Every structure is written in C-alpha cells, then in structure tokens.
C-alpha cells in the first residue's frame, strides 16, 4: 500500500488492520483493510488486532515500559552495556530519538484502530463487548501517551486547561488521513477523554474473573483498575476533599474484594507462568508467534551470566532500590546477584521455553490497593491508608508497621510502590508526579552532566517526535525542545 507523505497520526489512521488471532487462539495471522474489515463477523479479529498493536517492540513489547524504568530512580545502566536505552537513562534524548517516534506511532495505531471499531462496527449484541474492549484500549493508549509526552497533572493543576498541554486525541475514525492534522488537546480534555472511554468500557466490555483467560482482554474490571490510576494522577493533592480521591476508592474497593493478593514466598513464580494469576486484572500475553529472540522484553534486564537465561544485563537495580529491600521480603526472590550487581528477574520468561518472552502485567490488584491507600492518605484517612499498606506488606512476608503522621504514611507508601512495581513501567511516572528528584548514587552509573533530574525539568515530558512536528503545522512542541 502506498501513502502520500503523512504525519505519524495520519499514517496510523491509514494502515491496514493487524488481525492476528494469537491472543486467545493460534489461528493464522491475517491483514484486513478498512473497507473489508469492519463487520460483525470480524469483530473478534479486530479486537485481537488491538492487542497485537500494543505488543509492538517499541510499545508494550519492551520499550515503553523500559523507558519509564530507566528514566526513574531505581535502576542503572553502566559503561558495560549493549547501547540500548543509554540516551534515555542519561536524559540526552531529543525530538529525533527514533525509539520515541515509534512508541508514539504504535500507541496511536492502537487508538485509531479502536476508534474505527467504535465508530464503524454495527451496533449489535455480538459487537457490544468488542466495542467495550476498544474503548478500554483507546483509553490505555491515550493514557500511555499522556504519561510519556506531557507533564504530570499534579504539576499542572493551574494550567490543565491551557492550550497544547495535552496530546492529540484520536477519538474519531479518520476518513481522509491525508488531510488529518490534529492539534493537541488541553491536559484536562485529555484526561476527560480517557475517563469517558473507561466509563464506556465499564458498560460495554466483557466481564472478567480472577485467574481467568478474561484478564488477557480489556474488561469491565480492567476499566475500573485504569480508572483508579487516572483519578489518582488527576487528583488535586492540595484539596483533601477532592472528589477524585473518593472516585479512586469507589473504583478500587470492588476489585480489592475480587482479586486476591499473592502470598507466595516465591514471589517470582507469579511472573514466570503463562497462566493468569490471582492478582492479574489486565495482561498482554506473549505466545510463540511473538518471540523476538534477542529483543524479547526480559533480555534487557537479565544478567549476562552465560546461563540458559542469559541476557544483555544492561539494566540493573541500583543501590537506592536495594536499600529498600528487607531480608524477609518475598520480593527478594525476583532479584539475582551476579558479579556484584543486582538484576531484576521478573521477566525471565513465561514458561514457554523462550528466554525473556514474558506476559506483560499492565494492571494488577496490588497497584489498585496502593492507589486506594494513596487516595485515603490524600483525604486524611491515615489509618485506612495504613491498613492497605500493611495488607500488601503482610502478603509480601513483612510485619505490619505503625505510623503516627501523614509524612511517615507517605514515606511507607512510596517505598511500597517502588518495591512492588519496579520493572513494570511506573518509576519515572511516580517519581515526578509526586515531586521527587531523580538521584542515582551509584558511582558506576552513566549519568547526565546535571546528575540530579528535578521534577520541574523540561525533560520530564518527552519531546513530540520531530517527524510529527515537521509534517503537522498544528502540533506544538513541548517546552525545552524547540530548535
């Protein structure tokens, strides 16, 4: 298929549908154009295609999650590296960074394909749940884009309605991609669109069940879980009565009652299975057709130790993170020490015999529990916040703690978020939305000339890819990246 010179957003609207069936079965892959694809009979194939798009290497296949890790404060890259993610770790990226352009592209492919499903599929009982999945996946893609390419909402409370603070929204199917040159929404409009889609998904998407195959699809529960994240990130920390805090609690509580926390001493086993676990609410399943060999997700984390599960060993847990781990913590089972370095083993493989090919856990009930704890803390309900924190601690082999004031509850909450969610794409998001400074003490770590990254640094928001800026006169670049 030939295309005129288009901006990335237009190109994502023009490409043929990915229609691989491998998410829920292993039927052969196929490709469908817009004219023949959008029918009731193809609804399942179209929904599966959304997950295929999300599993691209530069999205959840590896890069999106890894970049959020290496720009946070819990891992390091040293001089002994394979030249992957060094630019991001050192904060020397710019609008021409190729990997960021591809992440932007793949997220918008998901959003645009979802919009075609929502707008073009006929309204029937058969298509209803698939449209619900599309609403969820469009919300997820937009949320991932806003996390990467805008400043945290907590820093923008007085500017959230200012022009060009959000992202371009792919909320409609595009009939003429060649003329599609959208501008950026405001940050509030972006979050409002995400929340609207998630509410629609709660109405339309299929039901899920703990430890069921449904966790590998966008479901009502997945929509609720992502809503807890959206409301939390959007909340106004200066206002304990902000309704967003109660919204987090209301969405989280039924999920916490439904999905059970792991209590395994072998914490790692929950990551090395191909089956749904009790904590999984939404995961992307990687099967043999998604094997990328050396580029499998986990290889960037696994030590280069000459074993059968040897990887690049580029990304290592740093001293700041290791100092948080208690010897009794079950999460120690996900750490391997080799040649004086600490490696995270969560993504060693999902039991299919392929090193580093793993199911990506996008939403887990442990995050939802910590989201609720933070909402309670913001409201001033410190004991309820501490109850949630202690529930997680006790399921990870640790004794309950007491805390007398908000500062100590907050410190324990942040500690548990770091310990629980490391390697799952939260490090930079949590660090900067909560006003933290990126400080890595390890002497062997490659660092930028300005060693510490302040939460006010322009680079907290990644640049809009230059190819988009050049092709679309309506796109405004983020501050700090103009030529």
Tens-digit pLDDT profile for residues 127-155:
999 999 999 999 999 999 999 999 999 99
Q: Distance between CA 396 and CA 262 in Å, rounded?
A: 8
Q: Distance between CA 191 and CA 390 in Å, rounded?
A: 31
Instruction: Write the CA distances from 306 to 78, 117, 204, 310, 356, integer angstroms.
Output: 19, 46, 49, 5, 14
How many domains are contained in the chain? 1
Q: Distance between CA 253 and CA 386 in Å, rounded?
A: 15
In a domain, 226, yes or no: yes
Mean pLDDT of 369-375: 98
Q: Distance between CA 373 and CA 378 in Å, rounded?
A: 9
Q: Distance between CA 423 and CA 271 in Å, rounded?
A: 12
In a domain, 20, yes or no: yes
From the list 308, 301, 306, 309, the residue with the least C-alpha distance to 341 is 301
Q: Distance between CA 250 and CA 380 in Å, rounded?
A: 16
pLDDT tens-digit series, residues 76-96: 999 999 999 999 999 999 998
Element (H, E) at 36: helix 34-37
Mean pLDDT of 422-443: 97
In a domain, 109, yes or no: yes
Angle formed at CA 90 by CA 86 and CA 95, multiple of 5 degrees: 85
pLDDT of residue 321: 98
Instruction: Kindly indicate the confidence band of residue 22, based on its pLDDT and cuts at 50, 70 and 90.
Output: very low
Element (H, E) at 342: strand 341-344
Q: Looking at the chain, how many residues does it have?
A: 483
Instruction: Kindly indicate the confidence band of residue 468, based on its pLDDT and cuts at 50, 70 and 90.
Output: very high
Q: Distance between CA 244 and CA 236 in Å, rounded?
A: 8
In a domain, 167, yes or no: yes
Instruction: Kindly indicate the confidence band of residue 27, based on its pLDDT and cuts at 50, 70 and 90.
Output: very low
Element (H, E) at 337: strand 335-338
pLDDT tens-digit series, residues 470-479: 999 999 999 9
Strands 316-317 and 280-284: unpaired
* % the chain with pLDDT above 90: 85
pLDDT of residue 24: 27
Mean pLDDT of 7-19: 55
Q: Distance between CA 332 and CA 329 in Å, rounded?
A: 6
Instruction: Residue 20: give the domain boundaries.
Output: 8-263+449-471
In a domain, 69, yes or no: yes
**Which residues, other chains included, contact 390 with Cβ-Cβ below 8 Å and sequence gap of 6+?**
400, 401
Mean pLDDT of 261-272: 97
pLDDT at 28 over 60: no
In a domain, 166, yes or no: yes
pLDDT at 429 over 80: yes
pLDDT of residue 416: 98
Phi, psi (degrees; rounded to nearest 5) at 16: -70, 155
> 3-state class of 200 per DSSP?
helix
Q: What is the pTM of this model?
A: 0.94
pLDDT at 339 over 80: yes
The domain that holds 233 is classified in CATH as 1.25.40.390
Q: Are 56 and 106 in contact (CB under 8 A)?
A: yes
The rounded mean pLDDT for the chain is: 91
In a domain, 422, yes or no: no
Q: Distance between CA 193 and CA 168 in Å, rounded?
A: 11
pLDDT of residue 8: 59
From the list 269, 284, 36, 14, the residue with the least C-alpha distance to 137 is 284
Instruction: Kindly indicate the confidence band of residue 17, based on its pLDDT and cuts at 50, 70 and 90.
Output: low
Q: Are 415 and 407 in contact (CB under 8 A)?
A: no
In a domain, 90, yes or no: yes
Q: Distance between CA 436 and CA 447 in Å, rounded?
A: 17
Mean pLDDT of 217-237: 97
């Amino acid at each position: 298929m030939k295309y005129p010179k288009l901006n990335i957003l237009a190109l994502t609207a023009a490409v043929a549908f990915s229609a691989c069936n491998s998410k829920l079965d292993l039927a052969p892959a196929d490709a469908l154009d817009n004219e023949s694809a959008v029918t009731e009979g193809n609804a399942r194939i179209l929904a599966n295609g959304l997950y295929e798009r999300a599993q691209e290497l530069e999205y959840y296949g590896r890069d999106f999650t890894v970049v959020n890790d290496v720009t946070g404060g819990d891992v390091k890259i040293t001089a002994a590296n394979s030249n992957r993610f060094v630019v991001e770790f050192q904060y020397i990226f710019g609008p021409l960074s190729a990997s960021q352009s591809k992440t932007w592209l793949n997220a918008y492919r998901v959003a645009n394909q979802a919009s075609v499903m929502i707008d073009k599929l006929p309204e029937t009982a058969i298509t209803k749940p698939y449209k619900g999945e599309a609403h969820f996946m469009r919300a997820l893609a937009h949320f991932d884009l806003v996390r990467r390419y805008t400043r945290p909402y907590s820093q923008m409370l007085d500017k959230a309605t200012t022009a060009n603070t959000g992202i371009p929204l792919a909320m409609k199917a595009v009939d003429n991609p060649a003329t599609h040159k959208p501008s950026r929404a405001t940050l509030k409009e972006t979050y409002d669109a995400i929340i609207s889609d998630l509410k629609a998904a709660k109405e339309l998407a299929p039901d899920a069940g703990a430890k069921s195959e449904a966790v590998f699809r966008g479901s009502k529960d997945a929509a609720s879980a992502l809503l807890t994240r959206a409301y939390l990130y959007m909340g106004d920390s200066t206002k304990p009565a902000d309704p967003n805090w109660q919204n987090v609690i209301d969405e989280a509580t039924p999920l916490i009652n439904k999905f059970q926390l792991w209590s395994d001493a072998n914490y790692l086993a929950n990551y090395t299975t191909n089956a749904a676990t009790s904590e999984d609410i939404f995961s992307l399943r990687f099967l043999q057709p998604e094997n990328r060999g050396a580029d499998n997700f986990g290889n960037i984390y696994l030590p280069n130790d000459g074993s059968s599960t040897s990887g690049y060993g580029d990304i290592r847990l740093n001293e700041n993170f290791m100092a948080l781990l208690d010897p009794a913590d079950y999460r120690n089972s996900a750490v391997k020490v080799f040649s004086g370095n600490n490696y995270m083993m969560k993504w060693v493989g999902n039991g299919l015999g392929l090193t580093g090919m793993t199911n990506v856990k996008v939403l887990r009930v442990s995050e939802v529990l910590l989201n609720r704890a933070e909402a309670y803390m913001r409201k001033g309900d410190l004991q309820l916040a501490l109850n949630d924190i202690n529930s997680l601690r006790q399921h990870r082999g640790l004794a309950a703690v007491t805390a007398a004031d908000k500062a100590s509850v907050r410190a324990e909450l942040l500690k548990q978020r770091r310990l629980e969610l490391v390697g799952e794409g939260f490090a930079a998001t949590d660090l900067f939305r909560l006003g933290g400074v990126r400080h890595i003490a390890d002497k062997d770590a490659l660092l930028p000339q300005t060693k510490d990254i302040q939460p006010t640094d322009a680079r907290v928001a990644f640049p809009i890819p230059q190819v988009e800026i050049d092709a679309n006169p309506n796109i405004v670049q983020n501050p700090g990246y103009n030529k």
